């Protein structure tokens, strides 16, 4: 393929340009490069590893399901149908090869983005591609990758092994029967560790008109009636127990904000009945939702599951795209965040409770130095969540460390989470985090604020100690 | 002038100190240094180029009309009257030579500011000054510059040519007859391109007691009655068309925030009548104002004019200064901004409309990574406006690229706007942006995130492609 | 002590790693390293210097009273009782040696924090320690330091001399009789300058149930009845005068936010009477509090005392810790700040008043570029407060300069304040600020934005001119 530009991720990428710092960063990274991957939060489906089917084609693997990728293509005028998403209004869905062509012809628009780095690493390191995608080589690349993806070394389980994953946490509906997690646990040929995460958003959000039906599903899944408040709490507790029995250590929450209420039982029960009957007004339903989130904190203080808060995303900003293509299609837009006041009711109750633990994530960088580092720098139960989503990128990661370390140190942070929907991006994402932290620490060493031995210990802790501790893995 | 400190802007200014990065930045900058200047948003008066009168004296050119300069001198205790502004309370207005003396004696207080860099470049590159201004040399410098400014090579048109300006957008009142734009267009000796921008703030802000009189002016200008809601919309549409016929591609808006309403016609008409009659309360007038801004978006989706939003400035913070010296006197102070929720009504309607285009600017950096990059990274109609006003400075520009590129790439940003009231600062401002972007890209190259060829293409795009595309120039 | 890691703060710490910049920073710092320390805001008790008693033991000196240190130990699971704080619930308070052991065994958790740097400098430069604290050497170190602290060269007055302090401002209750300040002033053997600061929070905060009793104390201290509004103003004015007679130049305020009200006297008097009688509702009490803060601004415009605003801390976040261990125990958590609108009523009245001066501090970095630099860049009365509290750390200081200099220059900032409760940390803190500013200026020199001579002048101004000017010292 003459005219192709080479694709070769540089071994020193993300390290500082200044030679002394670069050398330090290289040494620090070298020592953690091959440590196992601990992934406490992902959107990988356990079925992928249970079934272990080949991935098929590169568009279905890398483009269509990744809303980081589709959103930017959409911004450059490619429609969701052209990216392989099914349209409820009936415009034709593009075939994978066409999707791949569009991706390749827009490749240059990813320059400078975090997605570009992951994609380069996936293409090169995982799939063996050595040229930059382009309109000219799209078809050849497609054929090459379809053939390659049929090879046994690229099956999900084979990749799990070669990626060096120690534990992978999925994100699951409390009504899920966890059949794939159980099948993996019972499979003598499988030696990995895939644990579920309890994600009860749809059962806590009483403002959603679908909420009563969600509770019906929960009742069906667990065999506990959810017709009243007490029953619903018991049903949730029961499903938490079921998840724990299957390896879960964490519950995960995506409310618009982190506010919680702690109502007395009579008031909670009253609001529950009204919302269940569809007679609660918006404010009552929102109050109940905040109370139910608070109940999750209470349960965590009892059963020891870690409460992971992923709040602050304004979901489904563009109604037409939601209606036609469904959620998670690239138009969740962050909102300003507030934690100091919002977390107070929870921390007043459980902040120094010995079993309680929470990891707090944000899409709003302004709270890193202002609120989260001070909170994690006082409460033993609070871990400062790593950069997440739009912030899960090298420069943002660097700003995170700059913003929080001086107040909270390194050991009140959670360690990296990949939050990925793209299985093949897992090693690239973790390696990016290790490189950025190595670079950050190299800067501190070069500025004589910390010696290199200590920096090496810190980096090791960030890679393995912190995620294990924060998520009780 | 013995004892003078030399004034000599360094050829490597704004490039990284680390030698490898500096060399890359130098090469990147070299390739775009002499590209034409595209200025999609300025406050230059078209009359300046139509009349082509000499500038006269340095105080009137560089100090009195530039609120970036006067505000900092004011902060150091110089009064507005001493800076050449007319005081309605009658204190004497200083003569230009006195103004210049004050400016020179306070020159050191500009150290580190963006204004200092522009002023150094203007003085040195445009006016040939080779010494730092000081109390000691103020008079000599004044005489030297008065003489120089009379030379034909320093006339506005001669400078326009020598600056290499390809297109210059002014900012104009919709009631303006655009006589100077038309005169320029009809002048066979003039080869530049000066286009108007439709700035209808005073016709949309129904909370301003002057609003009814503004509508009367609009009616007089366009010959369309503005006594009722429908007529006013027709009058605005008609003036937009007149502006387009005279080269305008953009409307520009300076509301306190970006919120819009989309009322039904009956309600809009009711509020209009009340506000026109002076009987609307504050909230009704504000609602109508947000609706009229929304109508601008609707019109943009029909006539294809780009909607530029410059919101978030708390205008005229100090009432006494406003009363005595008028607006735009250095005390507009930014406010916290919000776009995720504010822009939703507009984007719900026009976000994927093929003719609609908006460029969103902010004075609040926190929305760069949190809101604007995610929005521009999904909506094909949204361009992320360049750093503006207080943020239009090297370090802030660097933070802008750091904050937005990982999410939105380079090609969803608008390219540089100078927003200047100082004609002679145009080349310095554009060169600063080119240097900062070259430095930023050099950093990415040196960290091996992007190769130098790609960086060069990106920089070329930022200088010419992005502003042309974002503003349909 | 074999196995000990050496403790040796590097002479180039905090300077840029790039050799050219490092050399410049070194030269700039060298020129200001030995300039006297001006400390316009601290929490040192004047009694410390008046009594001049030895410090006793290292835990009582460095750990127990420093909420920067105790909060992070608390976050790592050490209880406040184990850190030497008395518990109202009666758990045993650890002895200093036990506190010291816990501190030493958690030493590595301070890596990367600002506290670590101060502690390293205190231990090494002031106390002569040359090994890193650890669980193994805790006891030996304790004994060594107890012995050392008994030496005359480590008495408070001896340290004051050796630190090179020119002036130290304490923070004092308006009802304080300032006996220690007066004793020092009258002591012929004492040559330092220790000035009080008027901190009237408890007399202005009418929302606090203790407020009436606080006013009673104020009446007792000054002999002016505080039973009505006018009397209370007179009492406050009288105490301000008493403080000024004893050297005070500044009043200091820690309201939750910077909002002020300027009520007419009848309304203020009405609210005062209601609040004094305990019949005001929460909103009335808050309105009165904001009015009383406004009265402080009015008094400042008359008596010339500088109004220092330290707002934005959500005090006492964890009620149980407050109840058991009292305030200032590490759980004051910052809140989002707003100044543009909040300061307007004050600045409308006094912003250009020749006697009025205010220094505005923030715990929310987002207002640096958005609000405070523009305000200080216009109003001659407004000085931009240095990084404070959680932001009083190298990387945050760097962000501060990056955020504000381009808009406000260097000469509208206040110069460093140490805000310390740890006497021995004073030189380390001031040296950190000098180093960070030297590094920042070195960056500007290396990027050819400012020449080295000018940078040296600026740094000198930041160290001595700015604090003297901003605080009228």
CATH of residue C71: 1.10.2020.10
Residues C210-246 have pLDDT tens digits of 999 999 999 999 999 999 999 999 999 999 999 999 9
Spans of chain A below 70 pLDDT: 1-2
Residues of C in Cβ contact (< 8 Å) with A352 = 318, 320-321
What is the token pair recorded at C70? 């105790």
B283 touches chain A (CB under 8 A): no
- The domain boundary residue, chosen from C138, C153, C168: C153
CA–CA distance, A61 with A11 (Å, rounded to integer): 25
Burial of A336 from C-beta contacts in 10 A (0-12 / 13-18 / 19+): buried
Residue B338: strand, helix, or coil: coil
- Per-residue pLDDT tens for A219-245? 999 999 999 999 999 999 999 999 999
Give which of B6, B7, B19, B75 to mutate to test C binding, by max C Cβ within 10 Å: B75
CB contact under 8 A, C454 and B18: no
DSSP, residue by residue, C170-221? --B-TT---HHHHHHHH-TT----EE--B--HHHH-TTSTTHHHHHHHHHHH
**Which helix H or strand E contains C49, and what residues bound it?**
helix C46-51
Contact call for residues A300 and A353 (beta carbons, < 8 A): no
B263 three-class SS: coil
> Same structural domain for residues A412 and A344?
yes
The answer on A426 and A370 residing in a single domain is yes
Question: Cβ–Cβ of B394/C406 closer than 8 Å?
Answer: yes
Is residue B225 located within the same domain as residue B351? yes
CB-based contact, A109 to chain B, within 8 Å = yes
**In chain C, what residues touch B394 (CB-CB under 8 Å)?**
406, 449
Query: Same domain for A335 and A425?
Result: yes
Provide CB contacts within 8 A for C283, sequence distance 6+: none
Q: In terms of Cα–Cα distance, which of C417, C467, C413 is closest to C440? A: C413
Find, in chain A, the residue whose alpha carbon is nearest to that of C20: A18
**Residue A179 and residue A144 share a domain:** no
On whether both A314 and A391 belong to a single domain, the answer is: yes
Answer whether A113 touches B (CB < 8 Å). yes
Pairwise CB contact (< 8 Å): C405 & B74: no
Whether the CB-CB separation of A175 and A84 falls below 8 Å is answered with no
> Helix A67-75 and helix A114-121: axis angle, to 10°?
120
Q: Can you tell me the distance from the alpha carbon of A181 to that of A187, in angstroms, rounded to the nearest whole number?
A: 10
| Chain B interface includes C296 (CB < 8 A) | no
Hey, is the C-beta of B402 within 8 angstroms of any chain A C-beta? yes
Which residue is listed with tokens 């429609």?
A79
For residue C310, the SS3 value is: strand
In a domain, B169, yes or no: yes
Set of chain A residues whose Cβ sits within 8 Å of the Cβ of B449: 13-14, 112, 117, 394
Q: Does A378 touch chain C (CB under 8 A)?
A: yes
Give the CB-side neighbour count of residue C367, counting CA atoms within 13 A: 28
Q: Please spell the DSSP secondary structure of A201-236, one letter per residue.
A: HHHH-TTSTTHHHHHHHHHHHHT---SSHHHHHHHH
Q: A320-341: per-residue pLDDT in tens?
A: 999 999 999 999 999 999 999 9
With beta carbons under 8 A apart, name residues in chain B contacting C443: 17
A111/B20 CB distance under 8 A: no
Same-domain pairing of C258 and C404: yes
Distance from CA of A262 to the nearest CA of B (A): 28
Q: Report which secondary-structure segment, H or E, holds A296.
A: helix A282-303
C184 is a domain residue:
yes
Of A341, A369, A377, the CB nearest to C365: A369
B-chain residues within 8 Å CB-CB of A112?
A: 405-406, 409-410, 444, 449-450, 458
Q: ipTM value of the model? A: 0.97
Which among C105, C120, C153 is the end of a domain? C153
Residues of chain C positioned with their CB less than 8 A from the CB of B17: 16, 18, 20-21, 443, 446-447
Mean pLDDT, range B126-135, rounded to an integer? 97
Residue A392: inside a domain, yes or no?
yes
The pLDDT assigned to B168 comes to 98
pLDDT bracket for residue B177 (50, 70, 90): very high
Note whether C396 contacts A: Cβ–Cβ < 8 A.
Answer: yes
Domain end call among B151, B184, B202: B151
The distance of Cα B204 from the centroid of its chain, to the nearest Å, equals 20
Q: Is residue B1 assigned to a domain?
A: no
Number of domains in chain A: 2
Which tokens sit at C424?
């021995």
Q: Is C371 on the interface with B (CB under 8 A)?
A: yes
Assess if residue C249 is contained within a domain.
yes
pLDDT > 70: percent of chain B: 99
Q: Which of A375, A405, A449 sits opposite C333 (nearest CB)?
A: A375
- Which of C193-216 are b and which e, b meaning 16 or more Cβ less than 10 Å from the residue's Cβ? bbbbbbbbbbbbbbbeeebeebbe
Of A113, A314, A317, the CB nearest to B407: A113
d(CA A93, CA A86): 6
Whether residue B16 is contained in a domain is answered as: no
Same domain, B408 and B263: yes
CA A424 from chain centre, in angstroms, equals 14
Nearest to C198 by CA among C183, C228, C218: C218
Query: According to the model, what pLDDT value does residue A1 have?
Result: 42
Grouped pLDDT means (10 residues each) for chain C, 473 residues: 82 96 98 98 97 96 95 98 97 97 98 96 97 97 98 96 98 98 97 98 96 97 96 98 98 95 98 97 97 98 98 96 96 97 98 98 98 98 97 97 98 96 95 98 97 97 98 97
Rg of chain A (C-alpha set): 23
CB contact under 8 A, A410 and C111: yes
Closest by Cβ to C112, choosing from A380, A382, A410: A410
- Residue for token pair 């029995």: A245
Chain B residue closest to A111 (CA)?
Answer: B409
Query: Does residue B450 belong to the interface with chain A, where contact is any CB pair within 8 Å?
Result: yes
Nearest CA to CA, how far is A121 from chain B (Å)?
11
B109 at C interface, C-beta within 8 A: yes
Q: Work out the minimum CA distance from B360 to partner chain A, whole angstroms.
A: 15
Closest residue by Cα to residue A356 from A302, A401, A301? A301
- For B109-122, what is each residue's pLDDT tens digit? 999 999 999 999 99
Say yes or no: B296 and B180 in one domain: yes
Same domain, A285 and A179: yes
What's residue B147's pLDDT?
97
Helix (H, G, I), strand (E, B), or coil: what is residue B438? helix
Strand ranges (E), A228-284: 250-253
Q: What is the CATH number of the domain that holds B302?
A: 3.20.20.140
Scanning the structure block, which residue is given the tokens 């955020």? C403
**Residue in A370, A406, A457 nearest the CB of C334:** A370
Q: Does residue C347 share a domain with residue C233?
A: yes
Cβ neighbours for C277, distance < 8 A, ≥ 6 positions apart: none
Q: Which of A294, A193, A315, A313 is nearest to A251 (CA)?
A: A294
Strands (E), A37-135: 37-39
Please choose, from the candidates A285, A287, A290, the residue with its C-alpha nearest in 3D space to the C-alpha of residue A311: A290
Taking contacts as CB-CB distances below 8 angstroms, the residues of chain A near B369 are: 365, 390-391, 396
A444 vs C contacts (CB less than 8 Å): 112
Measured between beta carbons, which residues in chain A are less than 8 angstroms from residue C121? Answer: none
Q: Which of C383, C460, C381, C463 is nearest to C415 (CA)?
A: C463
Report the alpha-carbon distance of residue A240 to residue A299 in Å, rounded. Answer: 9
**Residues spanned by the domain of B130:** 55-151
Beta pairing, strands A313-314 & A333-334: antiparallel
CA-nearest of A36, A247, A53 to A161 is A36
For chain B, the farthest-separated pair of C-alpha atoms sits apart, in whole angstroms, at 74
pLDDT for the residue B1:
42
The C-alpha atoms of residue A329 and residue A29 are separated, in whole angstroms, by 35
Cα B359 from Cα A386, distance rounded (Å): 32
User: Residues 54 to 83 of B: which have CB under 8 A from any C CB?
Assistant: 71-72, 74-77
Residue C23 vs residues B218, B443, C159, C438: alpha-carbon distances, Å: 63, 22, 31, 10
If asked whether residues B251 and B122 sit together in one domain, one would say no
Give the number of beta-carbon pairs within 8 Å between A and B: 134
Cα distances (Å, whole numbers) of residue B348 to A444, B220, C90, C151: 46, 35, 60, 74
Is residue A348, in this structure, part of any structural domain at all? yes
Task: Please report whether residue C229 resides in a domain.
Answer: yes
Q: Do A380 and C75 touch (CB under 8 A)?
A: yes
Q: List Cα–Cα distances, B393 to A23, B389, B413, B416, C269, in angstroms.
A: 32, 8, 17, 11, 49
CA distance A75 to C220: 69
């Amino acid at each position: 393929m003459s005219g192709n530009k080479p694709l070769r991720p540089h071994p020193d990428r993300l390290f500082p340009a200044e030679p002394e710092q670069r050398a330090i960063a290289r040494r620090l990274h070298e020592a953690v490069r091959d440590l196992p991957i601990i992934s406490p939060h992902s959107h990988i489906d356990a079925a992928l590893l249970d079934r272990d089917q080949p991935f098929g084609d590169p568009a279905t693997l890398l483009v269509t399901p990744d809303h980081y990728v589709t959103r930017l293509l959409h911004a450059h005028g490619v429609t969701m149908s052209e990216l392989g998403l099914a349209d409820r209004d009936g415009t034709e869905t593009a075939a994978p090869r066409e999707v791949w062509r569009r991706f390749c012809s827009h490749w240059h628009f990813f320059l400078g983005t975090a997605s570009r780095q992951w994609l380069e690493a996936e293409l090169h390191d995982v799939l063996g591609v050595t040229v930059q995608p382009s309109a000219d080589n799209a078809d050849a690349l497609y054929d090459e990758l379809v053939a390659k993806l049929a090879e046994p070394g690229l099956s999900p389980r084979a990749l799990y092994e070669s990626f060096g994953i120690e534990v992978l946490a999925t994100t699951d509906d409390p009504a899920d029967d966890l059949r794939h997690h159980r099948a993996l646990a019972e499979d003598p040929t499988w030696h990995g560790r895939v644990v579920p995460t309890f994600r009860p958003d749809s059962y806590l959000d009483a403002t959603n008109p679908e909420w009563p039906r969600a509770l019906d599903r929960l009742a069906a899944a667990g065999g506990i009636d959810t017709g009243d408040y007490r029953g619903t709490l018991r049903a949730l507790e029961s499903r938490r127990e079921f998840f724990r029995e299957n390896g879960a250590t964490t519950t995960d929450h995506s409310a618009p904000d982190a506010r919680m209420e702690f109502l007395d039982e009579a008031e909670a029960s009253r609001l529950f009945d009204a919302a269940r009957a569809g007679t609660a007004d918006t404010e009552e339903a929102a109050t109940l939702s905040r109370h139910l989130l608070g109940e999750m904190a209470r349960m965590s203080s009892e059963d020891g599951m870690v409460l992971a808060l992923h709040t602050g995303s304004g979901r489904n900003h563009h109604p037409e795209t939601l209606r036609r293509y469904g959620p998670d299609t690239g138009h969740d837009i962050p909102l300003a965040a507030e934690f100091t006041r919002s977390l107070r009711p929870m921390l007043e109750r459980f902040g120094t409770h010995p079993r309680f633990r929470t990891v707090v994530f944000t899409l709003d960088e302004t709270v890193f130095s202002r609120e989260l580092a001070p909170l994690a720098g006082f409460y033993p139960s609070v871990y400062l969540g790593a950069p997440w989503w739009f912030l899960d990128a090298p420069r943002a990661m660097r700003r995170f460390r700059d913003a929080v370390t001086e107040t909270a140190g390194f050991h009140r942070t959670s360690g990296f989470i990949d939050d990925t929907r793209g299985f093949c991006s897992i090693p690239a994402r973790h390696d990016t985090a290790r490189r950025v932290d190595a670079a950050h620490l190299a800067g501190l060493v070069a500025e004589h604020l910390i010696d290199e031995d200590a920096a090496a210990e810190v980096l090791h802790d960030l890679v393995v100690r912190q995620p294990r501790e924060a998520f009780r893995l």
